[in-house]
Amino acid sequence: MKVRELGIDGAYAFEPEVFHDERGSFRSPYQEAVYGAALGRPLFPVAQVSTSSSRRWVVRGVHFTATPGSMAKYVLCTGGRALDVVVDVRLGSPTFGRSERVELSPEAGTALYLPPGVGHLFTALEDDTVMVYLLSAAYRADKERAVHPLDPELGLELPGGHARVLSERDRSAPTLAEARARGLLPWYADCTAAVPDGGGR
């Protein structure tokens, strides 16, 4: 498995080796020894596993969770194909405002580790795109936050030439500047203090 540190502080991409034969293929998108060597700790105790299914050109995000209680995520695509965009919305982070795109698909098996407070968006590039999320904390609606995916300040490069499908929540989400002014963005120091240490396993 290849490990790549993204341009977002604390975020990583894990790219497993894929084995092919006459039956099909096999891959292991999470390997604790590799993850532990890269981050210096095992994966967080998984509190919840969630999935989403999206039709082509659906955009979900940019979503993140507030502190205290922000969650870490391990994200992969098990059906279809997605363009994932990781966005640093943590105030005081050395990579604040930066974003990075990673294509996810079942064929590649690439998975992303997103530390607490880091924003996340994806665009479904095919119908029936299925995303799987391993979460370090249970979902709480009162902790969910969003910034607008088309905010010019973020400058996210999303596929064009078609009608994007967004939820009402994402269409009405504040810009990064508005979220900052309203005190909605998490602080980097609080997020790093909230990183799960893999204890209790």
Tell me if residue 133 is catalytic: yes
Cβ atoms 14, 36 nearer than 8 A: no
Q: Is 113 a catalytic residue?
A: no
Residue 96 near residue 176, CB atoms below 8 Å: no
For 33, counting Cβ atoms within 10 Å of its Cβ (0-12 exposed, 13-18 middle, 19+ buried), the class is: exposed
CA pair distance 44, 10, nearest whole angstrom: 14
CA proximity to 102, closest of 15, 35, 178 = 15
The two tokens of residue 39 are 């981050």
Q: Is 142 helix (H, G, I), strand (E, B) or coil?
A: helix
Residue 119, H or E segment:
strand 119-124
**Which one of 12, 74, 113, 133 is the catalytic residue?**
133
Q: How far apart are CA 131 and CA 77, in angstroms?
A: 4
Question: What's the order of all strands across the beta sheet hosting 82-87?
Answer: 99-104, 82-87, 119-124, 59-65, 144-146
β partners of residue 19? 26
Residue in 63, 74, 148, 188 annotated catalytic:
63
Catalytic positions, written as ranges: 63, 133
